[in-house]
Chain A
């Protein structure tokens, strides 16, 4: 197995305007992050709001200009899916057009070829072909998230970053989308960096997890190990707040 993503010694900074002071200040949001992702692996990144997990994702996708350290990605066009299925699809574009965008911009394929591939991808994520002619507002939350997944897979990326992809969905829909991600991962040999605050959801999907707090990774390892014999105090606190550690003790 080969490594698809390697991050080592990563520090990232934001410019923030301090209230009351005019000048922008440089604030560090990520401290010395190092990890590795193998091909075909799902890696969970867990943390509470503001801990820097979304910043890490954005840094990997080179959307944060100010960073130090090494990010080595074997994939040329890593893709991302976002939390809010309502905000991440352009409301004035038809689903078909959205799906064809990367094919048009990067692969520069002719229209017919693009349409064929878009229809194939729709089928793959469990949507009928006719949805290509729909606008996002005509779809339900679950369907939209399927479209987002389809759009991110158009280029057959090796690495997919999923930032809270199921947090805005109802539980029953959540399970369907998670299942879809698993199936696609197996079918297409995807590696997924799965970001979530929901420990239960992460457990379903991820082979390895990292626990993040205040810009630092406090614990990482195999999912079962981290969940059932946590070493760090913070991990233990998270697990018991989610009611996972207790049930484990009862069993």
Chain B
């Protein structure tokens, strides 16, 4: 019998609700997020516009729903690239060690030395901005941190007895790496995916805020937050609503990652 994991429950609940809203935003929004309406310019919170309207009279709630979608896509794409390449590099370097490890890890160190935002900045200014470029740029910037975590886990696991017995049972190196070891580091990986997701949300917001991220007419939380800044005093609900949504998104994932760490991966714990 396990004690209830409130972190995981609460985090899961928040994330669940946010996911539903995001998913909804892809298919249905109460108003057209692009439709401008001069009459409603910066109108406050009301029953028709539950989060008010922005400086072009667009419904903020609809835009938040759309923006969540964009932000979520960018974060997911980023984490996906980071995880896949990070796991591959980490697995090979950690498992085999030796010269491959030395070379690859020094490259990673060099990448790691730059702040990920700066790296993405360079990439975007070289290849242009837009949703997909942001994903690739942030994804590459995220590879080193994932590969480091995965490498550490593989180094720990490669000398364990069950890996030796797998070798004696004739399993190939690839099979040992991805069938025998990978499931065992899954909880560690999952919790760093959650943290990586949060970082990606923030990094996307940061890039967009600097004006080189997601381009209008794509709505994203970062883009909205940066335009809300001008109206911080005249229309505070604009910044509060978009910022609040971002906070909820991050909080949900943080709580889940904390909960997963506490859980230590259910069936693995003895």
Chain A–chain B contact at Cβ < 8 A: yes
A39 within 8 Å of B by Cβ? no
Contact at B161–A77, with CB atoms within 8 Å?
Answer: no
Within 8 A of B (CB), among A68-121: 77, 79-80, 82-84, 86-93, 101-102, 105-106
List of B residues within 8 angstroms of A86 by Cβ: 270
The contact size tier of chain A is 20 to 34
| Cβ-neighbour of B169 out of A82, A83, A136, A154 (below 8 A) | A154
Bound Cα distance from A168 to B167, whole angstroms = 23
Chain B 245-270 interface mask (CB, 8 Å, partner A; 1/0): 00000000000000000000001111
Contact at A90–B170, with CB atoms within 8 Å?
Answer: no
Count chain A CB atoms within 10 A of each CB in B164, B169, B184 and give the residue with the most: B169
Q: A135-B267, A137-B268 are in contact. Are A88 and B168 (CB under 8 A)?
A: no
| Cβ-neighbour of A102 out of B164, B169, B180, B268 (below 8 A) | B169
Bound Cα distance from A151 to B180, whole angstroms = 15
State how many angstroms separate the Cβ of A164 from the closest Cβ of chain B: 11
Bound Cα distance from A33 to B166, whole angstroms = 28
List of A residues within 8 angstroms of B183 by Cβ: 92-93
A235 within 8 Å of B by Cβ? no
Contact at A90–B164, with CB atoms within 8 Å?
Answer: no
B215 within 8 Å of A by Cβ? no
A201 within 8 Å of B by Cβ? no
Q: Can you name the residue of chain A whose Cβ is closest to the Cβ of B162?
A: A90
| Cβ-neighbour of B184 out of A61, A63, A91, A151 (below 8 A) | A91
Within 8 A of B (CB), among A131-183: 135-137, 148, 151-152, 154-155
Q: Can you name the residue of chain A whose Cβ is closest to the Cβ of B161?
A: A88
Bound Cα distance from A136 to B16, whole angstroms = 32
Q: A90-B180, A91-B268, A137-B268 are in contact. Are A101 and B162 (CB under 8 A)?
A: no
Contact at B160–A87, with CB atoms within 8 Å?
Answer: yes
Contact at A82–B164, with CB atoms within 8 Å?
Answer: yes
B172 within 8 Å of A by Cβ? yes
State how many angstroms separate the Cβ of A99 from the closest Cβ of chain B: 9
Q: A105-B175, A135-B267, A137-B269 are in contact. Are A89 and B169 (CB under 8 A)?
A: no
B165 within 8 Å of A by Cβ? yes
Q: Can you name the residue of chain B whose Cβ is closest to the Cβ of A97?
A: B179
List of A residues within 8 angstroms of B270 by Cβ: 86, 91, 136-137
Interface of B is mostly: helix
Chain B 136-178 interface mask (CB, 8 Å, partner A; 1/0): 0000000000000000000000001110111111111001000
Q: Can you name the residue of chain A whose Cβ is closest to the Cβ of B157?
A: A90
B186 within 8 Å of A by Cβ? yes
| Cβ-neighbour of A105 out of B160, B161, B162, B170 (below 8 A) | B170
List of A residues within 8 angstroms of B169 by Cβ: 101-102, 105-106, 151, 154-155
List of A residues within 8 angstroms of B269 by Cβ: 137
Contact at B168–A87, with CB atoms within 8 Å?
Answer: no
Contact at A105–B168, with CB atoms within 8 Å?
Answer: no
State how many angstroms separate the Cβ of A61 from the closest Cβ of chain B: 7
Q: Can you name the residue of chain B whose Cβ is closest to the Cβ of A107?
A: B170
Contact at B171–A105, with CB atoms within 8 Å?
Answer: yes
Q: Can you name the residue of chain A whose Cβ is closest to the Cβ of B163?
A: A90
Bound Cα distance from A91 to B186, whole angstroms = 12
State how many angstroms separate the Cβ of B2 from the closest Cβ of chain A: 13
Q: A92-B186, A102-B170 are in contact. Are A80 and B267 (CB under 8 A)?
A: no
Q: Can you name the residue of chain A whose Cβ is closest to the Cβ of B269?
A: A137
List of A residues within 8 angstroms of B162 by Cβ: 87-91
B interface residue numbers (CB < 8 A to A): 160-162, 164-172, 175, 180, 183-184, 186, 267-270
Q: List 8 A-B contacts (CB under 8 A).
A: A77-B168, A79-B168, A82-B161, A101-B169, A102-B168, A105-B169, A137-B268, A151-B165
